[in-house]
Amino acid sequence: MYNKIDENMLDVLRELANIGVGNAVTSLSQMLGEEKIDMEHPVSTLVPLQDVPDFLGGGEVAVAGVYIESTGDVTLTILFVLSVESASNLISMLMPGMGGELDEMGISALIEVGNILTAAHLNALSIMTGFQLLPSPPQIAVDMAGAIISTVMAATHMIDDEVVLMQTTLKTLESQIGGNILILPDYGALEKIFVSLGLR
């Protein structure tokens, strides 16, 4: 499947990413007390599932991931994942003076940011396709990158061999934090999305 993706399909992924970013920026700015926040336009591509840990820095790198599962017209999972160091920096941005610890309060803050980002991209996908997409409550996992992907796969029964990977950066006046948003489709979901957009 990987070598059958053409430029039009990649353009759709870029449009999805840009709409998702636009949806997320306002909510994140409100969460940060109206502080100016930007997100770089994501670099979006399709990658084979087995290569995802490498894109996240390596299978043994410690990361934090917040994910929601969507049911409805298609079933898929959207995952926001960033290194533990970036997660700590993000917590510090959200809660100055708290040390950026991955404690109960820090985890709660990460879940909220991850929920905003994943829901924004799910809404963008719904707008583009007209599909009804019903999100689950967000869940979080902190582990090695390879283990995170395995955890999400086990929870969602994903068997497609490709994921949509969007690499972006959150920016404020004082900080910038790199992160990744992944769309992990259940079997046939990606094909159904491209068919709905007239690309298959």
Query: Any idea where the domains of the chain sit in the sequence?
Result: 2-86+115-196
Cα separation of 79 and 153, whole Å? 11
Mean pLDDT of 62-89: 93
pTM of the full structure: 0.88
Mean pLDDT value across residues 101-113:
92
Which CATH number is 2-86+115-196's, of 3.20.20.70, 3.10.580.10, 3.30.420.40, 3.40.1550.10? 3.40.1550.10
Grade residue 3 by pLDDT with cuts at 50, 70 and 90: very low
- 25-51 pLDDT tens trace: 878 877 776 566 777 777 888 888 889
Reported as a single tens digit per residue, the pLDDT across 148-186 is 988 887 776 666 677 889 888 888 777 788 899 998 888
Strand ranges (DSSP E) for 73-192? 76-83, 133-135, 139-144, 162-171, 176-185
Neighbours of 90 (CB within 10 A): 22
Q: How high is the pLDDT of residue 26?
A: 79
CA atoms of 3 and 165, how far apart (whole Å): 16
